[in-house]
Amino acid sequence: MKTYLKYIFALLILPLLLVSCNKDDESDEVNKVIENFYIYLNEKDLDKIKEISTNRADRYFEFIFSLGNDLVQIDSINIIQTLIEDSNANVDVETFDIYGNAMIYHWHLVKVKEQWKIRELEGYKAEKILTKKDIDYSKKNNPPKDTTKK
Protein backbone atom coordinates (compact mmCIF):
# COMPACT_ATOMS: atom_id res chain seq x y z
CA MET A 1 0.00 0.00 0.00
CA LYS A 2 2.83 2.42 0.85
CA THR A 3 4.45 1.73 -2.50
CA TYR A 4 1.24 2.63 -4.33
CA LEU A 5 0.96 5.88 -2.36
CA LYS A 6 4.53 6.80 -3.33
CA TYR A 7 3.77 6.25 -7.02
CA ILE A 8 0.53 8.21 -6.85
CA PHE A 9 2.29 11.04 -5.00
CA ALA A 10 5.11 11.06 -7.58
CA LEU A 11 2.63 11.14 -10.47
CA LEU A 12 0.81 14.10 -8.95
CA ILE A 13 3.88 16.15 -8.02
CA LEU A 14 6.06 15.53 -11.09
CA PRO A 15 3.82 17.44 -13.58
CA LEU A 16 3.65 20.43 -11.22
CA LEU A 17 7.44 20.54 -10.99
CA LEU A 18 7.82 20.32 -14.75
CA VAL A 19 5.37 23.17 -15.35
CA SER A 20 7.16 25.35 -12.79
CA CYS A 21 10.56 24.70 -14.35
CA ASN A 22 9.18 25.39 -17.83
CA LYS A 23 7.87 28.86 -16.77
CA ASP A 24 11.26 29.75 -15.26
CA ASP A 25 13.06 28.61 -18.42
CA GLU A 26 10.69 30.65 -20.60
CA SER A 27 11.23 33.71 -18.43
CA ASP A 28 15.01 33.28 -18.66
CA GLU A 29 14.77 33.00 -22.46
CA VAL A 30 12.67 36.15 -22.73
CA ASN A 31 14.98 38.11 -20.42
CA LYS A 32 18.02 36.95 -22.40
CA VAL A 33 16.52 38.42 -25.59
CA ILE A 34 16.11 41.78 -23.85
CA GLU A 35 19.62 41.67 -22.40
CA ASN A 36 21.04 40.80 -25.83
CA PHE A 37 19.17 43.70 -27.39
CA TYR A 38 20.98 46.20 -25.17
CA ILE A 39 24.33 44.54 -25.82
CA TYR A 40 23.72 44.73 -29.59
CA LEU A 41 22.46 48.30 -29.27
CA ASN A 42 25.67 49.39 -27.54
CA GLU A 43 27.67 47.58 -30.23
CA LYS A 44 25.48 49.30 -32.88
CA ASP A 45 24.93 45.89 -34.51
CA LEU A 46 21.64 46.17 -36.40
CA ASP A 47 22.05 42.74 -38.01
CA LYS A 48 22.10 40.99 -34.63
CA ILE A 49 19.12 43.04 -33.46
CA LYS A 50 17.21 41.91 -36.55
CA GLU A 51 17.87 38.29 -35.58
CA ILE A 52 15.98 38.76 -32.31
CA SER A 53 13.12 40.91 -33.61
CA THR A 54 10.13 40.59 -35.90
CA ASN A 55 9.89 42.34 -39.28
CA ARG A 56 7.60 44.93 -37.70
CA ALA A 57 10.23 45.83 -35.09
CA ASP A 58 13.04 45.71 -37.67
CA ARG A 59 11.63 48.75 -39.47
CA TYR A 60 11.59 50.72 -36.23
CA PHE A 61 15.16 49.75 -35.36
CA GLU A 62 16.33 50.62 -38.89
CA PHE A 63 14.87 54.09 -38.41
CA ILE A 64 16.63 54.49 -35.04
CA PHE A 65 19.96 53.42 -36.53
CA SER A 66 19.48 55.83 -39.46
CA LEU A 67 19.88 58.67 -36.98
CA GLY A 68 23.60 57.99 -36.95
CA ASN A 69 26.10 57.63 -34.16
CA ASP A 70 24.16 59.78 -31.72
CA LEU A 71 22.74 56.76 -29.89
CA VAL A 72 23.53 56.98 -26.20
CA GLN A 73 25.25 53.98 -24.63
CA ILE A 74 23.26 52.05 -22.05
CA ASP A 75 25.24 51.57 -18.85
CA SER A 76 22.92 49.13 -17.07
CA ILE A 77 19.46 47.62 -17.13
CA ASN A 78 17.11 46.36 -14.47
CA ILE A 79 14.42 43.90 -15.57
CA ILE A 80 11.50 44.82 -13.35
CA GLN A 81 8.90 42.28 -14.42
CA THR A 82 8.39 39.54 -16.99
CA LEU A 83 4.90 38.27 -17.77
CA ILE A 84 4.38 35.38 -20.17
CA GLU A 85 1.03 34.25 -21.52
CA ASP A 86 1.03 31.56 -24.21
CA SER A 87 3.25 32.84 -27.03
CA ASN A 88 3.30 36.47 -25.87
CA ALA A 89 5.53 38.12 -23.30
CA ASN A 90 5.64 41.58 -21.73
CA VAL A 91 8.77 42.81 -20.03
CA ASP A 92 9.25 46.03 -18.06
CA VAL A 93 12.84 47.26 -18.05
CA GLU A 94 14.47 50.25 -16.41
CA THR A 95 17.60 51.43 -18.21
CA PHE A 96 20.34 53.81 -17.17
CA ASP A 97 22.48 55.48 -19.81
CA ILE A 98 26.09 56.53 -19.34
CA TYR A 99 24.91 59.96 -18.17
CA GLY A 100 22.74 58.50 -15.40
CA ASN A 101 19.40 59.16 -17.12
CA ALA A 102 16.72 56.57 -16.38
CA MET A 103 14.10 55.31 -18.84
CA ILE A 104 11.37 52.73 -18.45
CA TYR A 105 10.63 50.49 -21.43
CA HIS A 106 7.70 48.14 -21.92
CA TRP A 107 8.78 45.37 -24.29
CA HIS A 108 6.34 43.14 -26.15
CA LEU A 109 7.73 39.84 -27.42
CA VAL A 110 6.19 37.00 -29.40
CA LYS A 111 7.30 33.42 -29.81
CA VAL A 112 8.00 32.62 -33.46
CA LYS A 113 9.04 29.06 -34.34
CA GLU A 114 10.13 28.33 -30.75
CA GLN A 115 12.22 31.52 -30.55
CA TRP A 116 11.29 34.67 -28.63
CA LYS A 117 11.43 37.84 -30.75
CA ILE A 118 10.89 41.51 -30.03
CA ARG A 119 7.59 42.70 -31.51
CA GLU A 120 7.50 46.29 -30.22
CA LEU A 121 8.49 48.57 -27.38
CA GLU A 122 7.23 51.65 -25.63
CA GLY A 123 9.52 54.00 -23.72
CA TYR A 124 8.75 56.41 -20.94
CA LYS A 125 11.03 58.89 -19.25
CA ALA A 126 11.39 57.91 -15.63
CA GLU A 127 10.01 60.57 -13.36
CA LYS A 128 12.68 62.61 -11.61
CA ILE A 129 11.65 63.30 -8.06
CA LEU A 130 13.21 66.48 -6.79
CA THR A 131 14.93 66.16 -3.46
CA LYS A 132 15.23 68.94 -0.89
CA LYS A 133 18.86 69.33 -1.98
CA ASP A 134 17.74 69.89 -5.62
CA ILE A 135 15.19 72.50 -4.55
CA ASP A 136 17.66 74.35 -2.29
CA TYR A 137 20.25 74.39 -5.10
CA SER A 138 17.68 75.81 -7.51
CA LYS A 139 16.67 78.53 -5.04
CA LYS A 140 20.30 79.65 -4.53
CA ASN A 141 21.09 79.88 -8.22
CA ASN A 142 17.70 81.12 -9.37
CA PRO A 143 16.24 83.37 -6.68
CA PRO A 144 12.60 84.43 -7.15
CA LYS A 145 12.19 87.57 -9.21
CA ASP A 146 10.91 90.63 -7.44
CA THR A 147 7.39 91.11 -8.73
CA THR A 148 6.84 94.55 -7.18
CA LYS A 149 7.52 97.54 -9.43
CA LYS A 150 9.65 100.33 -8.11
The answer to whether 111 and 54 are in contact (CB under 8 A) is: no
> Is residue 51 over pLDDT 60?
yes
**pLDDT tens string 9-49:** 555 665 554 444 455 689 999 999 999 999 999 999 999 99
Threshold 0.75, pTM exceeds: no
| Domains parsed from the chain with CATH numbers | 2-141 (3.10.450.50)
Instruction: Please tell me the predicted confidence (pLDDT) of residue 58.
Output: 86
**pLDDT tens string 78-135:** 999 999 999 999 999 999 988 888 889 999 999 999 999 999 988 765 555 555 665 6
> Is residue 140 over pLDDT 90?
no
Q: Please give the Cα distance from 28 to 123 (Å, whole number).
A: 22
Instruction: Please tell me the predicted confidence (pLDDT) of residue 18.
Output: 47
Residue type, 9: F
Instruction: Please tell me the predicted confidence (pLDDT) of residue 27.
Output: 94
Q: Report the candidate in 72, 103, 78 with the shortest Cα–Cα distance to residue 91.
A: 78
